[in-house]
Amino acid sequence: MTIAERASAPAEAETDHTLTLIEAVREALDEEMARDARVVVLGEDVGKLGGVFRATDGLQARYGEARVIDTPMMELGIAGLAVGMAMKGLRPVAEIQFADFMHAAADHIISDAARMRFRTQGDWTCPLVVRTAYGGGFRGGPYHSQSVEAYYSHVPGLKVVVPSFPADAKGLLLAAIRDPDPVLVLEHKRTYRAIRGAVPEGEHVATIGQARIVRAGRQLTVVAWGWVLHESLAAAEQLAEEGIEVEVVDPRTLVPLDEATILASIRKTGRLCVVHEDTRTMGFGAELAALAAESALDDLRAPIRRVTMPDVAGIPASGPMEDYLIPDRDRIARALRELAQVDRAAARSIGMPTRGDGAPNAPQIAEQSAQDQALPHRAGSVGAVREPPLPRGADGREARFVRGANWSDLMVASATTVPQATSVVEVDLSKVAARIDDSRAAWAERGIGADYTPFLVRALAAAVARAPQVNAIWDAEARGARRYHALHLGLSVLAADGESARHAVLPDADTRNLFGLAIVVQATREAGAQAPDCLADATISLTDYGPDSALFAVPLVLPGQVAAVRAGAVAERLLARDRGFALAPTVHLSATVDHRALDGMDAGVLLGEMKRFLEEYGGDEA
Amino acid sequence: MMRGQACGGGDIADHPPAIESAQLLRAYRWMLLARQLDETMWALRRQGKGHFAVSCAGHEAVGAAAGLAVDLATDVLAPHYRDLAACLAWGLTAREVVAHYFGRAADPCTGGRQPYAHWGSRERRIISQEGPQPNVVTHAAGLAYAARLLGEQTVVWSAFGDGGAQKGEVHEAMNFAGIHRLPIVFCVENNLYTQSVPLSKESAVVDLSLRAQGYGMPGISVDGMDLEAVYAAAAVAVERARAGQGPSLIEARTYRFRPNTSNDDDTRYRDPDEVDRWRERDPLPLTRSRLLERGVLSEPDAERMATEIGQEVADAATWAEAESDAEPESALLHTWADRRVRAAAE
C-alpha cells in the first residue's frame, strides 16, 4: 500500500505551547494527516466550515476534499463509511457533530466497528475513530447536550476515551487514530474553549487506558471526566480550604478502564465519589461503584456516592433548568463535605486483645461481625449529622459510653469497670516548635493560630498506624476489642477562654493534614460549651488540657474505648543532652489503656511512637 | 424476461456483452457447487447435525454472474447472505463453507462466532457479512472510496436483498456513492419477500431499479434467474465503475425456493403453487440446457460434473463434521487487538 508507506517517522516532541482543548484536537488531526496519508476526516460541515466547533478548521484547504470529506447529513452513513474505509486500510476519523446524533450511527459502531475483529477472528479489523462533542451547558436543549459514555462503554470491542485537558485531547486522539481497534473520542464541548493548557508540540501520543491523579489527597477519591472534572477540581479546592484533602482522578479512558489507579486511590482514601454529567441510573458511575464494591469493599469507610444528572429525559434549553440539573462545584463540594464525615466504621476486621482475657470463639466473632455491620455507627464531628448511638450492652452489666449518659455515672463506670494502666513519657518539642515558628505567619494570614495540639494529633495518628491495637472498641459481649481501620479521635481541648473544655470528634483524624487539623482544633476551642457526649463516637481520645495546667495527669479510658492520651503543660525545661543540659520546650504525655484489651506495654508503645514522631519531627507535610 | 429494462441510466442495457462459453461453464460450476452444498447443508439441518441453514437456492445465477463480471484478482465482494455462488466464485472452498456451517474451529469466516451465511475473507476480498441487514452496503461504499483514494482500480460488488433495499442505510450508501461516483455496483437480489412480507408491502414501486434515478446512477432490472441477463448488466456496470464513471444499480429478479431460513415456515405466507411455478424457472436447469444447446457441455460431461461436485460436497461435509469445535475459551479472543478478554469473575 504505497500511501501507507509514505507515512513518515514522527517528529519528536520538544516543547510545549498553550492551547485550548479544541486547538489541541485540531493540532492532532493536522499533524497526523500530515504524517500519515491514510488518515481521512469525514463528517458534516467538516470542510469549508471547519466543523461546527472548528475542530477541522483549515484541514480541507490543506489536505483536499478527498481526505476531508463533507458528507451529507447521515450519521449512520458516516459511521458505516468509516467502517468500510477502515477495513480497506485507511485511518478514518469520523466526526459526529453532536453526541446526541450518535444514536443514529450506533448500529455501525456497535454491530460492526466494535465487532468486526471478533466476528472475523481478526481477519478484518476496524481501526477507526469517531469523535463527537458531548455535554451540556450551552442551552442546547435535549438534543445538543447529552452525555453518551454509558451507552458506548457497554460495547466490548470499542474503546472510549474522554480527554478533559488539551494535552490529553491531543495525545489521546493521536493514540486513537493509531490504535488497531475502534475508538470513540468524547469531547465535552464546554471544555473546547474554556480549558486551556500546555500541549507538547509535535509527537505526543498518550497511552489509552491510563488514568491520571489530577490532584492528590488522602481523605476522599473523586472520579470525574469532562466538564464536571473541572468542577470537581474547584470543589476540591474549596474543601482544601476546610482541611479536607480530596484526591481527584481523571480516568481519561473509560474503556479500557485503569482499574489499578482508581482502586489504589480508593484504598488510600477509603471514600469514593463519582461525578458525571450523564444521568444516574446505569451510568458509568455504577460501574465504578461496582468496581469499588468488588475489589475494595474492605477499604471503604463510607458508602459510595454518585453526583450525577438526575434521571431526567433530557436537558432543557432553559438556563435555570439546565444549571439546576448539571452538577456544579457547589453541589459537588456539598456532597464531598458530607461524604468526608461519614464512616461506616470498618469493623470487618476484628482485633483481638493482644494478651486479653477470654478470647471469643469463632461463632461469636461471626455473629458480632454481622451485628457490627447492621449497627449504624457513624462518627460525628463539629457540625456533622449524628446517627443514633450504639445500644447498651445486651447483658446490661457494662454500659458502653453512649450519648446522653450521665457523665458522673460514666466516670464511675470507668473507674470501677475498666481496669486501667497508665504510662508517662517526656517529649522534647524543639523540632515541632521550630516548625510552628516557621508556619506562624502563614497560618495567621488564614486566621489560624499556632498550636501544638495539631501536632499531637498527627503524632497520635502515626502511633496508631504502628500500634493499631490501641484504636479499638471494647465489646462487652464478645469480651474482646474490635479494631477500627478509621481513626476517630475524641478531642477534648482547652476552650479559647482558657477556663473550660470543649469536645469534638474528628472522624478520620489520620487522613487530615496539619493545617486541616489546625482549623478543626481552633474551631473546637472557639465553639460554644457542650457536653462531652459526642465523644461516644470516638475510637480513641486525646486531651490537651495541659498547656495551662499540670505537668501531667492520668486520663481515664472512656468505657468502650481502650486507650486515652493526655498532654501536660508545654514548658521550657532542662533536658539532658550531649552530656550536658539544654533548655527545650517539653511536654509530658500520659496514656491509659483498658487492661482487659491491652497491656501496659501497649501504652508504652503508643507513647513511644508519639514521642519519636514529635522529637524527630521533620515536617511530614506542607 | 425483464432483460434490458433500463431505468434512468441508459447504457447498461444498450450493449449487452456476450458471454464466452468457457465462462458460462465456469459460472455453471459455481452454481452447481452452491446448489449441492445448499442441499447438503439443508439436509444436515434436518438431521439435527447443523444448527441453522440459509438457502441460496434460486439466487445462484446472480452471484455467479457477478463472479464472471468482476476481476476476481482485484475486486471486492460485499455479499448478500444468499450469495454462496458468489463466495465460491471469489474463492471460498466447499470445505470452508461447510466448516463455517458447522461453526468449527476451521471456519475461516468467523471461527464459529457467527451462524452460517456470514461469510468473509480478507484474503479472498469478501467483506465480512453481519447480522443486521444490509450494513455491509455502507461498508462497501466506504471501501470503494478508500480503494480509489489508495490509487487502486478495485471495483466493489455490493449485493443485498429487496428487504434490505428498503432501509435508510441503503439510501445513505447509494446517495454517497452517487455523489462521489464511487467504483461500486449495487445489486438488489429481489426475491419478492422479506422473510414473510411481500414486495407490495415493502415498496410502492415494483421496479426497484427506479431508485437509481434519485442517486444519479443508471439502474436496470434484469431476470435474476438468467445468468446471461445478469452478466450482461453486471459486466457493463463493472466496466463503468472501473472506468471512473461511477456506480450502477442492478435489480436482479429472483426467487428463493426454500423458506427464509431453516427456522422459517413459508407455508404460512406463500402459496406452494407459487413456489412450484418459480421452480420451473430454476437457474440451474436453465443454464445447463443453455450449455447443452451450445455444445459447451455434453450430457455425459454434465453428469460427470454433477457427480464430481457431489463427491466434493460429500467430502466437505464429512470432513467438516469431523472437525473439532473451537476451544470454548477462545471466545475470549479477538474482542481486542492487544488483549484477551478477562473471564467474568463470579
pLDDT value, residue A393? 34
The domains of chain A are located at 2-7+14-200, 212-341, 392-615
Q: How long a stretch of residues is chain B?
A: 346
Fold (CATH) for A2-7+14-200: Rossmann fold (3.40.50)
pLDDT recorded at residue A486: 78
The whole-number pLDDT of residue B11 equals: 53
Please name the member of B135, B336, B341 whose beta carbon is closest to the beta carbon of A108. B135
Which residue does chain B place closest to A68, by CA atoms?
B149
Question: Which of A81, A117, A120 is facing B138, going by the closest CB pair?
Answer: A81
Residue A464 has pLDDT above 70, yes or no: yes
Chain B from 55 to 114: CB within 8 A of any A CB: 108-111, 113-114
Q: In A, which residues are within 8 Å of B119 by CB distance?
A: none
Cβ-based neighbours of A177, under 8 Å, separated by 6 or more: A28, A32, A36, A39, A91, A93, A129
Residue type, A381: S
Given an 8 Å threshold on Cβ–Cβ distance, is B114 in contact with A123?
no
Nearest CB to A1; choose among B118, B150, B337: B150
Mean pLDDT of A228-247: 95
Calpha distance A246→A239 (Å, rounded):
7
CATH fold of the domain at A212-341: Rossmann fold (3.40.50)
A458 φ/ψ angles, rounded to the nearest 5 degrees: -60, -40
ipTM: 0.95
> Would you call B267 exposed, middle or buried from its count of C-beta atoms within 10 A (0-12, 13-18, 19+)?
exposed
Task: Please tell me if the domain spanning A2-7+14-200 has the same topology as the one spanning A212-341.
Answer: yes
Cα dihedral sign, A488-A492-A493-A495: positive
Which of B114, B130, B336 faces A181 most closely, judged by CB atoms?
B336
Nearest-by-CA chain A residue for B126? A124
- Rounded to the nearest angstrom, the gap between the alpha carbon of residue A457 and the centroid of all alpha carbons in its chain is 22
Q: Please provide the DSSP assignment of A241-301 as one string.
A: HTT--EEEEE-SEEETT-HHHHHHHHHHHS-EEEEEEEESTT-HHHHHHHHHHHHSGGG-S
List CB contacts of B267: < 8 A, sequence separation 6 or more.
Answer: none
CB distance from B333 to chain A under 8 Å?
A: yes
Question: Is residue B160 within 8 angstroms of chain A, CB to CB?
Answer: no
What CA–CA distance (Å, rounded) separates A177 from A130? 9
**Hey, are the CB atoms on A121 and B138 less than 8 Å from each other?**
no
Give the Cα separation of B52 and B67 in Å (integer).
Answer: 26
Residues of B in contact with A88 (CB under 8 A): 142-143, 146-147, 150
Check CB contact of B145 with chain A, cutoff 8 Å: yes
pLDDT of residue A576: 86
**Comparing A109-113, A175-179, A264-268, A387-391, which segment has the lowest mean pLDDT?**
A387-391
DSSP string, B17-72: PP--HHHHHHHHHHHHHHHHHHHHHHHHHHTTSSS-----TT-HHHHHHHHHHS-T
Cell of B30: 459455481
Interface test with A, best of B149, B154, B160, B174 (most A CBs within 10 A): B149
- Reported confidence tier of residue A409, pLDDT bands at 50, 70, 90: confident
Residue A354: band (very low, low, confident or very high) from pLDDT cuts 50, 70, 90: very low
Q: Kindly state the average pLDDT of the residues A473-502.
A: 82
Helix (H, G, I), strand (E, B) or coil at A494: strand
pLDDT digit of tens for each residue in chain B (346 aa)? 344 444 444 455 555 667 888 999 999 999 999 999 999 999 999 999 999 999 999 999 999 999 999 999 999 999 999 999 999 999 999 999 999 999 999 999 999 999 999 999 999 999 999 888 999 999 999 999 999 999 999 999 999 999 999 999 999 999 999 999 999 999 999 999 999 999 999 999 999 999 999 999 999 999 999 999 999 999 999 999 999 999 999 999 999 999 999 999 999 999 999 999 999 999 999 999 999 999 999 999 999 999 999 999 999 999 999 999 999 999 999 999 989 998 876 6
* CATH 3.30.559.10 fits domain A392-615: yes
Find where cell 482508581 sits: A262
For position B12, what pLDDT does the model report?
55
The average pLDDT across A579-593 equals: 92
pLDDT, residue A547, reads 53
pLDDT at A145: 97
In one-letter notation, the amino acid at residue B41 is M
CB A105 within 8 A of CB A79: yes
| Options 3.40.50.80, 3.40.47.10, 3.40.50.720, 3.40.50.970; CATH of B5-329 | 3.40.50.970
Contact residues, chain A to chain B, C-beta under 8 Å: 1-3, 40, 66-67, 71-72, 74, 76-77, 80-90, 92, 107-108, 111-112, 115-125, 156-157, 179-181, 256, 294
- Does B342 contact A at CB distance below 8 Å? no
Helices and strands, counts by H and E, chain A:
20, 23
pLDDT at B303: 97
Beta carbons of A452 and A587 less than 8 angstroms apart: yes
Residue among B120, B139, B149 whose CB faces A66 most closely: B149
Nearest-CA distance A121 → chain B (Å): 6
Q: Which of residues 177-206 of B touch A (CB under 8 A)?
A: 179
Q: B130, A112: Cβ pair inside 8 Å?
A: yes
* Residues of A annotated catalytic, as ranges: 144
> What rounded mean pLDDT belongs to chain A?
86
Within 8 A of B146 by CB-CB distance, chain A residues are: 84-85, 87-90
Name every chain B residue with its beta carbon within 8 A of the beta carbon of A84: 127, 138-146
Check pLDDT > 80 for residue A126.
yes
